[in-house]
Amino acid sequence: MNREETLVKNFQDVQAALLAACAKARRNPQEVTLLAVTKYAQDRDVLTLLKQGCITHVGESRVQQALARWTNPVFAQFHTVKHFIGHLQKNKAAKAARLFDFIDSVDSLDTALAVERAVPAGKTIRALVQVKLTEKDTQSGLPLEQARELARKLKDLSRVKICGYMGIAPLGAPQAELRNLFRLVKRAFDEDFPPGAERHLSLGMSEDFITAVEEGSSLPRIGSRLFARNLEGL
């Protein structure tokens, strides 16, 4: 297969896995949106999947790099919902507010307020509070109860609409541990964001998205499963 064929097959394989996870959990597949993590992908690979109509939600973690890519007319011609999924510094809040539709990694009141002040008139940014699910000091986010407290505080904002949680599970954790973590966040999510309003639960990455979707994730973040040249062992 050539590179384009490989990328399309990668996408088809991910879609098949998502459908199977939904079937196993008796979920409506329309409840699940694939978030393509494009932050490390080559421009030509991202363009291939855009041209094929495979991806509509994209995730970036570096504001300057994302601006350069998505304001380029070659990319801007495609309708994409842009998610910021990295740690957002307050000094980048204004640029992020102009470019992104979602900030999936809010972990402080100050940052959320900086985004609120910078959102252009007439625009609303969807935001997810990041829950810290690992013990790593380098991992952003808040412990679950602190994340829930922050979400309550953010519900009074007008231009930033808080609508769910995002979490990154420990890499390589046993499946039983993953399920317990995902279920814990899902219970909090259902209590804090009941059905009837817009809500998003972003759990699961390339290594664990099947388990995450089975446990209720509606916005799995998939990067290497889409863009890796060799998926053996992933």
3-state secondary structure of 113: helix
59 vs 81: CA distance, rounded Å: 9
Count of domains in the chain? 1
> Is 64 contained in some domain?
yes
Q: Is residue 32 included in any domain, yes or no?
A: yes
Q: Is residue 229 part of a domain?
A: no
Whole-prediction pTM value?
0.95
The answer to whether position 231 is within a domain reads: no
Residue 228: inside a domain: no
Domain for residue 230, yes or no? no
Q: Can you tell me the distance from the alpha carbon of 3 to that of 226, in angstroms, rounded to the nearest whole number?
A: 12
Inter-axis angle of helices 175-192 and 144-154, to 10 degrees? 30
CATH number where 116 lies: 3.20.20.10
Residue 101's domain comprises: 3-223
Q: At CA 29, angle to CA 154 and CA 77, rounded to 5?
A: 70
State the sign of the Cα–Cα–Cα–Cα dihedral 171, 177, 135, 105.
positive
User: Tell me, what's the pLDDT at 232?
Assistant: 43
Residue 132, domain member (yes or no): yes
Dihedral through CA 133, CA 139, CA 140, CA 142, nearest 10? 30
User: Is 163 part of any domain?
Assistant: yes
Amino acid identity of residue 16, one-letter, is A
For residue 207, the Cα-to-chain-centroid distance in whole angstroms is 14
Instruction: Give pLDDT tens digits along the chain (234 positions).
Output: 899 999 999 999 999 999 999 999 999 999 999 999 999 999 999 999 999 999 999 999 999 999 999 999 999 999 999 999 999 999 999 999 999 999 999 999 999 999 999 999 999 999 999 999 987 776 789 999 999 999 999 999 999 999 999 999 998 899 999 999 999 999 999 999 999 999 999 999 999 999 999 999 999 999 999 998 654 433
Instruction: Map residue 59 onto helix, strand or coil.
Output: strand
Q: What is the pLDDT of residue 229?
A: 64
